[in-house]
A and B are shown apart, each in its own frame.
Chain A
Amino acid sequence: QKEVEQNSGPLSVPEGAIASLNCTYSDRGSQSFFWYRQYSGKSPELIMFIYSNGDKEDGRFTAQLNKASQYVSLLIRDSQPSDSATYLCALDRTDKLIFGTGTRLQVFP
């Protein structure tokens, strides 16, 4: 079982809709979770991190963490075509980031 699992997608949503990206992890002891956005051919950029159960909001982005169920999700409200990218979920394991394979999001006009 992979440490971090994501559906590779693509996830297609219309402009203005809410995009929901999900990630599950296997190590119940994991504490810190990160969402990165990666455009094709570019390096990842941090969107959000979350440590505590519940929701964390930052602008159009909301990260949700449920440690009991071992999943973390990212909601993007009012999706824009510029949000089209691959979204990587990552967890912190002894100061190393372990990445999921990423979900490709396509926002169409």
Chain B
Amino acid sequence: GAVVSQHPSWVICKSGTSVKIECRSLDFQATTMFWYRQFPKQSLMLMATSNEGSKATYEQGVEKDKFLINHASLTLSTLTVTSAHPEDSSFYICSAIRQSHGDEKLFFGSGTQLSVL
């Protein structure tokens, strides 16, 4: 079954509105989660690293005031796209690191397809 749950799987919104995407680790605690964006036929681009209890680390070129990340608990990180515009339409994917017995494994959420009208 899914190890990382991402919700919603798709969302359509009007330009200027905000959209929140949730990423939950199931059955494990994730101090670090990652948010990616993928445009059609392009690769995943890392947007930011979400750290529980502290501010997210954003990649160069990603506006932190536009893409708000909150990692308030060890099992939940949220990405809020504020004042969304059509150019923000993309596939957003989260991932989380599960650490177990000295081993680390990365699991991806199912992704969220955002369409901004």
Partner of B34, one of A8, A42, A96: A96
| A67-109 interface bits toward B, Cβ cutoff 8 Å, 1 = contact, 0 = none | 0000000000000000000001000000111111110000000
State whether B43 touches A88 (Cβ < 8 A): yes
Residues of B within 8 A of A (CB): 6, 32, 34, 41-46, 49, 91, 93, 95, 106, 108-111, 113
Q: Knowing A43-B93, A102-B43 touch, does A97 contact B34 (C-beta < 8 A)?
A: yes
Residues of A within 8 A of B (CB): 8, 41-46, 88, 95-102
- Describe A's contact surface by its main secondary structure: loop
A44 to B44, CA, bound (A): 9
25 examples of A-B residue contacts, CB within 8 angstroms = A8-B41, A41-B91, A41-B113, A42-B110, A43-B93, A43-B108, A43-B109, A43-B110, A43-B111, A44-B44, A44-B93, A45-B108, A46-B106, A88-B43, A96-B46, A97-B34, A97-B44, A97-B46, A97-B95, A98-B46, A99-B43, A99-B44, A99-B45, A100-B43, A101-B42
